[in-house]
Amino acid sequence: MKISREYKVGLLFVAAFLIVFFGINYLKGADIFNKQNKYFAEYDRVDGLVPANPVFINGLKVGQVSNLYFSPDGSMKIIVEYSIDSDIKIPDNSVAMIFSSDLMGSKAVNLILGNSNNICVEGDTLNSDIEGSIKDEVNKQVQPIKKKAESLLLSMDTMVTIIQSVFNETTRKNLSRSFENIKYTVNYLKSTSYNIDTLVSTQKNRLANIISNLEDITQNINNNKGKINNAISNFSSLSDTIANINFAKTLKNTNDALIKVSSVVDKIEKGEGTLGLLINDETLFKDLQTSSSELNLLIKDMRLNPERYVHFSVFGRSAKKNKYVQPVKDSLK
């Protein structure tokens, strides 16, 4: 069967139309073989978002931007129309966030699914958000560094000014003198260490003897530690005994005795009693002294002339009667 030329031209035109149609939709990212639902979102700005930009969920493409236009209410809000696969269930608290998909600034939409149990239906308006661009993120990161750098430069400038004001000619001279003094000090320390080293070298035998004596003392202490422990125990017992003494009672008794002694002394000073009269009455003392002297003379005379006193004291009454007179030797017997 022969096909006419007109029929061939018609088939070629239909094929070309289909190729152009599918090609345009392919370039737009539209999937004409799968059913898609339309959703909307309202933005203050879209930062370069254009139709055919993809829509992702967790990095998987599920649709594209189908149209953008200003809100008809005159608020200058931008309405973005999304075409999303119909088998995707979108909770009503999900967020359509515009973000930069590459370093060149190409825009895309990340659909962040919410946790609501209510599912959006076709034609619903989604929550919207815009992620900061790379420039904005860089500015956010660089701005604090810039402020710190400016503060650091200001601090460095202040520090340099202070250094210049401090390290003037007088200060430099003082520093030079200080370094010279440090040099002298180091040399002195070096000389001192040399002298100490020389002293140790020359007196090492005496140092060895001293150390040996210290070791002997330590050994003696170690050998007599039992005695030392006993002495410490005895001292502890003595301290316990002293601690157990009733000092209050002892002091009270002592105080009472001192009061009595003081009373006796007061009486003696006042001339009360025999001892007080003896101490304070000078006439009585002289009479006693005279009586004592005479008594001593009497005793001495009685010892030298006993017959006189025996005759007088014993037989004086019967001196006229001879029968009572006895010889002195007999009376002495």
Q: Which residue has the tokens 């370093």?
A: 103
In tens, the pLDDT along 236-284 reads: 777 777 666 666 777 777 888 888 777 777 777 776 666 666 666 677 6
Average model confidence (pLDDT) across the chain: 78
**Residue 124 pLDDT more than 80?**
yes
Instruction: Name the pTM for this structure.
Output: 0.37
Give the residue among 54, 87, 58, 82 at the shortest CA–CA distance from 68.
82
Q: What is the C-alpha to C-alpha distance for residues 50 and 273, in angstroms, rounded to an integer? A: 140
- Residue type at 125 in one-letter notation: T
Per-residue confidence (pLDDT) for residue 38, from 0 to 100: 92
Q: What are phi and psi of 110, to 5 degrees?
A: -105, 115
- pLDDT of res. 332: 39
Question: 304 falls in which pLDDT band (50, 70, 90)?
Answer: confident
Q: How confident is the model at residue 15 (pLDDT cuts 50, 70, 90)?
A: confident
User: Which one is predicted more confidently, 309 or 66?
Assistant: 66
Gap between the Cα atoms of 155 and 146, Å rounded: 14
Is the pLDDT at 194 greater than 50? The verdict is: yes
The dihedral over CA atoms of 233, 236, 242, 243, expressed in degrees to the nearest 10, equals -140
Contacts of 45 (CB under 8 A, 6+ apart): 78, 130
Considering the chain, what percentage of its residues have pLDDT values greater than 70? Answer: 77
DSSP, residue by residue, 178-225 = HHHHHHHHHHHHHHHHHHHHHHHHHTHHHHHHHHHHHHHHHHHHHHTH
Tell me the pLDDT tens digit for each residue of 199-248: 777 877 887 888 888 888 888 888 888 888 888 888 777 777 766 666 67
- CB count, 10 Å around CB of 100? 19
Residues 53, 64 contacting (CB under 8 angstroms): yes
pLDDT band at 328 (very low <50, low <70, confident <90, very high): very low
What pLDDT is recorded for position 95? Answer: 93
Percent of the chain topping pLDDT 90: 14
Q: DSSP string covering 222-249, please?
A: HHTHHHHHHHHHHHHHHHHHHHHS-HHH
**pLDDT at position 323:** 43
Based on C-alpha coordinates, what's the Rg of the chain? Answer: 68
Q: Rounded mean pLDDT of 157-179?
A: 76
Q: What is the pLDDT of residues 67-101, one digit of tens each?
A: 999 998 888 899 999 999 888 899 999 999 998 88
Task: Give me the DSSP letters along 134-161.
Answer: HHHHHHHHHHHHHHHHHHHHHHHHHHHH
Residues paired with residue 81 on neighbouring β-strands, in sequence order = 40, 67
> Is 132's pLDDT higher than 50?
yes
Overall average pLDDT of the 169-184 stretch: 80
Task: State how far the Cα of 177 lies from the Cα of 182, in Å rounded to an integer.
Answer: 9
pLDDT band at 133 (very low <50, low <70, confident <90, very high): low
The CA distances from residue 315 to 94, 299, 311, in Å, are 162, 19, 5
Q: 124: which 2 tokens?
A: 């619903």
Which of the pair, 304 or 133, is modelled with greater confidence? 304
Distances in whole angstroms, Cα of residue 257 to Cα of each of 109, 117, 175, 262: 114, 107, 81, 8
Is 290's pLDDT higher than 90?
no
Q: Is 168 exposed, middle or buried (0-12, 13-18, 19+ CB in 10 A)?
A: exposed
- 7 or 52: which leads in pLDDT: 52
Return the SS3 of 92.
coil
| Count helices and strands in the chain by DSSP H and E runs | 10, 7
Contact (CB, 8 A) for 115 and 91 = yes
Question: Who wins on pLDDT, 169 or 1?
Answer: 169
User: Which residue from 101, 158, 96 is spatially nearest to 130, judged by alpha carbons?
Assistant: 96
Confidence of residue 29 (pLDDT cuts 50, 70, 90): low
- For residues 54-68, give the mean pLDDT: 90
Among 109, 122, 33, 103, residue whose Cα is nearest residue 68: 109
